[in-house]
Amino acid sequence: MKTLFKSFCEAPPRLLSANNPVRGIFKASPGDFEVVEIPLQEPDGGAEHLYCWIEKQDLGSEELLKHCEEALELAPGEVGIAGMKDKRARTFQGITVPRRAESLLSRLETPQLTLHRVAGHSSKLRRGQLAGNAFRVCLREVSEVDKARLGGLVSELGVTGVPNYFGPQRFGTGGKNIRLGLALCGGEGPRVKPFLRQLAVHSLQSAVFNVALGHRIQEGLWSEVVAGDVIEDLKLGVPSVVFDVELEQARLDAGRVGVLGPLVGPKMRRAKGAAAKGEQRAMEAVGLTPAMLAAMGRWAPGDRRLYKLRVEGLTLEWDQGEPVLTFELPPGGYATALLNELVIGG
């Protein structure tokens, strides 16, 4: 597990490795890594919940939820959150809390958390209910030689695209979330809170996805359609299984379809042929057995995820001589996936 975590989750295979990514640091301080959540909808003025726009730094999502529950005297699961955000970062995001907690909102404020505004909302925020995230990342300790190369690497990413890896924060220190997911699905796991249970099982799904994607990059299949792949029409959002490789390769090259990787679970749409064998190899590498796969359905029925990450507005700017990257990602996209292609050092 340690080797797998290092190879496919902590520092997964790069597309641009032959071009020698630059050396630098992108989280020297929380302020160097800013994330602004883009809401799917604005607060609607409803009476049941309060939509709170918060700023936090050096505070993980689990810590945020626990703090809110304790400060507002709420039960686990009552705080709504749309997206998990990096701990070592300055992030702006929305959360929802029941209206009855309004008189206690002042308790939320800490040196790590600021409450900016509050509005009524009719429903609790759910995971994934966001339009995306906007990032501003300042790189530190980059040599002058590497600074001169950054522009070319950024331009090249616009051509190759970015592998849609899950970031290392998904997996916990040393891959502990993956190990917990395996234990839970194997019937040997400890009793844990619903949040941790879901996180662990989703981490297991994410590990299989990263391994499957990493194998394709290592085997030169990043831009190739494989017989039996599950693909999606990017305009209509309709999935299908590849039978005519030549036809679907032309559609992939034209940007009309994307290849979908596995988020394993008993109800996931199955790949066929060579593609199915590749996904099975990824599951075996992670240690996921058929019995565990069936057990996952309690917490994660299964889905598909695009192998290629859609990046909008990727721009290289300069702030007092330091390189700054700005870009937007869709829900579920990790900035570390993009940064993995550009920077060695973290």
- Active-site residues, by number, are 86
User: How far, rounded to the nearest angstrom, does the alpha carbon of residue 152 sit from its chain's CA centroid?
Assistant: 26
**3-state SS, one letter per residue, for 59-109:** CCHHHHHHHHHHHCCCCCCCCEECCCCCCCCEEEEEEEEEHHHHHHHHHHC
Q: Is 161 helix (H, G, I), strand (E, B) or coil?
A: coil
Exposed/middle/buried for residue 152 (C-beta within 10 Å: 0-12, 13-18, 19+): exposed
Longest CA span, the chain: 63
Q: Which of 215, 217, 200, 301 is nearest to 4 (CA)?
A: 215
Which element (helix H / strand E) includes 163? strand 162-163
Dump the DSSP string for 1-29: -HHHIIIIIISPPPSSGGG-PEE-BS-SS
Distance between the two ends of the chain, CA-based, in angstroms? 21
Separation CA 311–CA 329 (nearest Å): 5
Exposed/middle/buried for residue 128 (C-beta within 10 Å: 0-12, 13-18, 19+): exposed
Separation CA 205–CA 181 (nearest Å): 9
Which element (helix H / strand E) includes 308? strand 308-309
Cβ within 8 Å of residue 191, ≥6 positions away: none
Question: What is the β-pairing status of strands 343-344 and 22-23?
Answer: parallel
Helix axes 144-160, 335-342, angle to 10 degrees: 120
Q: Which of 168, 205, 157, 194 is nearest to 308 (CA)?
A: 157
